[in-house]
Amino acid sequence: MKSFSAAILVFSMTFSGCYTEPRKSDSGHMEFYRQALPKILGRRATGYHELKFLSDATTSIGASGRRVVVQALMESDEYVDHWEIVLVD
């Protein structure tokens, strides 16, 4: 009887909305840069306006926008300074 009760509980939780839908793989350009900046430049975004600028630049470039913007970030002095310190240690 306990296994039947457990099955009813799991069934009701599944179809009553207790479980949320999994997140989509791409939450947009702003979320991409929020996660990418610490990995590329070693720091969090300075604020909404920086993320908005990078997102708008990506959108205006087109299909290869993320690749172009990330390459531009990697050509910055801030990128070189961060990775010079990381790789020397």
Q: What beta strand segments (E) does the chain contain?
A: none
In sequence order, what are the residues at sequence separation of 6 or more whose Cβ sits closer than 8 angstroms to the Cβ of residue 59? 29, 65
Number of residues that this document lists for the chain: 89
17-37 pLDDT, tens digit each: 555 555 555 689 999 999 999
Confidence (pLDDT) at 27:
80
- Residue 9 — φ and ψ, nearest 5°? -65, -50
In sequence order, what are the residues at sequence separation of 6 or more whose Cβ sits closer than 8 angstroms to the Cβ of residue 13? 19
Give mean pLDDT, residues 4-25.
54
33-72 pLDDT, tens digit each: 999 999 999 999 999 999 999 999 999 998 899 999 999 9
Cα gap 4→47, rounded to integer Å: 52
Cα four-point dihedral sign 31, 35, 36, 38: positive
